[in-house]
Amino acid sequence: MTPATTPDAAYNEGYLDEQTKRMIRRALLKAVAIPGYQVPFASREMPLAYGWGTGGMQVTAAVLGQGDVLKVIDQGADDTTNAVSIRRFFTRVSGVRTTERTAEATVIQTRHRIPEEPLRAHQIIVYQVPQPEPLRKLEPRETESRRMHALADYGLMHVKLYEDIARHGRITLSYDYPVLVGGRYIMAPSPIPSFDNPKMDNSPALQLFGAGREKRIYAIPPHTSVRSLDFEDHPFHPWRATSCCDLCGAEDSYLDEVVIDDRGGRMFVCSDTDWCGQRRDAGHRGRLAGHALARKETA
């Protein structure tokens, strides 16, 4: 864990002004009260490009307090450039403590993954969301998709899934796989692999979703049912590569495939770098243990 620092005096703590934080907190409260409903909010320009996590950053900025410990991951990893960039931003403007350990974090901002280590009560996970509207690809109009949500008119989505099965024998969604939250709203879980979907169901942690460019916030309160859409005869299946991690040997984690030469050589590694590192520290070894990919960056 990095120690707390003094925030940059040129900016308000957490970058956003207090009025903006209040506005976002009000949107968050509404989102928590109506699980899965997309609350419009007056998203601000952030000093990061739209599509790079501005929604997640605004939510994080609005919930972060001095006692918090922040973890930021992108593709499951703490050391990807955008995760590093966002973590540095919050260190600079809020002085908050940061960590790479899932268990130590009180707020986790993520892009495209849910950590392997189960989340606990009193943890908040903030998802960066590029496209909050699960119906967008079926119906591009906001006016129409909002009406469909209001009336729970989800026939179009079920037809899409049915057509997938009729054509391909299975549902051909592999990430951003739509879920039904609290038995009411269909929700986009952000582009996490469908492998992660079950982790959202009945989680003791608070799950917040921020879409900056699309100006929407939504939430899943703790202990809420989150069901991946499926059919009785075609039940949902959380797929992963049928391999184990070549660094730590994990058989049940989500894996990234890494091309290691130009002759078709591949290795598989845990996408969750903290999970993989902890397993290696505990003595677990994979087929290629000690590979360069396992080396930590030395500052």
Partner 1 sequence: MYVAVKGGEKAIENSHAFLAEVRRGPADVPALALEQIEGQLGLAVDRVMAEASLYDRRLAALAIRQAQGDLVEAAFLLRAYRTTLPRFGASLPLDTAVMAVERRVSATYKDLPGGQVLGPTYDYTHRLLDFSLEAGGETAAAPRAEAPLDAAMPHVSSLLAGEGLMRPEAPDDGREPVDITRDPPRFPADRSARLQALARGDEGFVLAMGYSTQRGYGGAHPFAGEIRYGAVTVELVPEELGFPIELGEIMVTECEMVNQFKGSRTEKPQFTRGYGLVFGHGERKAMGMALVDRALMAAELGEEAVHPAQDHEFVLSHCDNVESSGFVQHLKLPHYVDFQSELELIRRLRAEAEERLAETRREAAE
- Which among 126, 72, 67 is positioned nearest to 97, based on CA atoms? 67
Rg (CA), the chain: 20
Asked if 138 is part of the footprint of partner 1 (rule: CB under 8 A), the reply reads no
Of 76, 245, 277, 286, which residue is the catalytic one? 245
- Considering only residues 195 through 254, tell me which ones interact with partner 1, judged by CB under 8 A: 195, 213, 215-216, 239-241, 254
Which is catalytic among the residues 55, 210, 270, 286? 270
Q: Is 176 in the site for partner 1 (CB under 8 A)?
A: yes
Nearer to partner 1, 224 or 277 (CB): 277
Q: Give whichever of 44 and 101 is closer to partner 1, judged by the CB atom.
A: 44
Instruction: Residue 218: name the closest of 205, 204, 208, 229 by CA.
Output: 208
Helices (H), 151-216: 155-168, 197-200
32-52 CB burial, b ≥16 within 10 A, e <16: bebbbbbbebebbebebeeeb
Catalytic residue status for 244: no
Selecting among 14, 36, 55, 277, the annotated active-site residue is 36
Q: Which is nearer to partner 1, 40 or 118 (CB)?
A: 40
* Residue from the set 21, 97, 113, 199 that interacts with partner 1 by CB under 8 A: 113
Residues in 115-134 at the binding interface with partner 1, rule: CB under 8 A:
130
Site for partner 1 in 51-110 (CB under 8 A): 51-52, 54, 74-77, 79-82, 84-85, 88
Catalytic residue among 14, 56, 212, 276: 276
Helix or strand or coil: residue 33? helix
Among 21, 71, 97, 111, which residue interacts with partner 1 (rule: CB under 8 A)?
111
- What is the rounded CA–CA span in Å between residue 286 and residue 45? 44
Which of 137, 141 has the CB closer to partner 1?
141
Residues 284 and 158: their CA atoms lie apart, in Å, by 43
Task: Name residue 12's beta-bridge partners.
Answer: 15
**25 in contact with partner 1 (CB under 8 A):** no
Using rule CB under 8 A, residue 147 touches partner 1: no
Contacts of 72 (CB under 8 A, 6+ apart): 78, 83, 84, 86, 87, 90, 98, 108, 109, 110
Place of tokens 């934080």: 21
Length of the chain: 299
Separation of alpha carbons 188 and 177, rounded Å: 7
Q: Which is nearer to partner 1, 48 or 103 (CB)?
A: 48
Choosing from 11, 101, 138, 165, the residue that interacts with partner 1 (CB under 8 A) is 11
Buried b (16+ CB within 10 A) or exposed e, 77-90: bbebebbeebbebb
Residue 299 interacts with partner 1 (CB under 8 A): yes or no: yes
Q: Determine how β-strand 226-228 pairs with β-strand 206-211.
A: unpaired
Given the rule CB under 8 A, which residues bind partner 1? 11-12, 15, 17, 40-47, 49-52, 54, 74-77, 79-82, 84-85, 88, 111-113, 130, 140-143, 168-170, 172, 174-176, 191-195, 213, 215-216, 239-241, 254-259, 271, 293, 297, 299
Active site residues: 36, 245, 248, 270, 276
